[in-house]
Structure 1
Amino acid sequence: MNLTSFTDYGLRMLMRMASAPGQAFSTADLAEEFELSRNHLTKIMQRLAQGGIVETRRGVNGGAVLRSNPAKIRLGDVVRLLEQGQALVECFGPAAGGCTIEGCCRLKSRLRQAEARFIEDLNRSTLADIALPQHATA
């Protein structure tokens, strides 16, 4: 399984935010800290806000803050949100009509089960479990 960079970067941002849950983080600061594109992180932050993981605030003291305690944010839910629209295999995607073995394929159901178990396993951990240590976030 290969998670997208969108999810990878989103998890990094959330790990940082979980290290100081009450603090607001700008995408500019996060982009500088992780040496990533601010534009890309802005799109990720928008998805996290739409999914109810973060709240964004405008203005001088603006930025994004976690909407919940990091111990209540389950990793599988975050990955599901960030991977939304990314098919595990081509036949799971919206243009799956080109499969020549549709109807007799026994792999598809097993892959769906594996994908569900992956998310379930991740949901045994929370953002608090993977928060960056305080000394790494100076």
Structure 2
Amino acid sequence: MFVTLTNYTDYGLRALMLLAIEPDRVQSTSALATRLDVSRHHLAKILMDLVAGGYLLSSRGPTGGVRLAKPPGQIRIGDVVRYLERDQAMVECFRADGGQCNLLPACRLRQTLNRAKDAFIETLNGKSLADMSPVPANR
């Protein structure tokens, strides 16, 4: 099965992985953007979304930035993916407005895809951010 995550989710996961290396250290958006080779503005949007989701804490000022809101071992990868992909429809009929599918309500593909999506998230939830960190993190 081929599953594609958005760049938004990819950068969000990679930022979390970098933060998991030193989970108590506040890191600037600029420093993280440089390490990830992504625009600071784009990453700031993603980081603020992760703050809103309860995955990061932020602080302002000259020594401000972001850090993990909880230990890496308590952040499940599937939950992060589900959160960051929440506005992305796998197929048209998954859109909030139901899309333009003319096979509904008789189509059985939707139910199968939903089960596959749930299994994908469940598999990812078998791993925590601590498991994905480039180096061992405090659990």
Q: TM-score, normalised by structure 1?
A: 0.93
| Structure 2: distance between partners of 1:75 and 1:97 | 28
Q: State the 4+ residue runs in structure 1 displaced beyond 6 angstroms.
A: none
Match of 2:28 in 1: 26
Structure 1 gaps of 5+ residues are none
Instruction: Give 1:45's match in structure 2, choosing from 44, 47, 59.
Output: 47
Residue 102 of structure 1 pairs with residue 100 of structure 2: no
SS in 2 for 1:102: coil
| Structure 2: distance between partners of 1:87 and 1:12 | 22
SS in 2 for 1:96: coil
RMSD of Structure 2 on Structure 1 (CA): 1.1
Deviations 1:14-61 (A, max 9, x none): 000001101111111111111111111011001100000000000122
CA contact (8 A) 2:6 2:85 kept: yes
Structure 1 residue 133 displacement after superposition: 2.3
Match of 2:122 in 1: 120
| Structure 1: distance between partners of 2:113 and 2:36 | 33
Match of 1:15 in 2: 17
Structure 1 residue 97 displacement after superposition: 4.1
SS in 1 for 2:63: coil
Match of 1:132 in 2: 134
SS in 1 for 2:96: coil
Deviations 1:57-96 (A, max 9, x none): 0012211010100001000010011111101111101232
Q: How many aligned residue pairs are there?
A: 134
Structure 2 gaps of 5+ residues are none
Higher share of residues assigned helix: 1
- AA of the residue aligned to 1:28: S
| Structure 2: distance between partners of 1:90 and 1:46 | 28
| Structure 1: distance between partners of 2:7 and 2:96 | 21
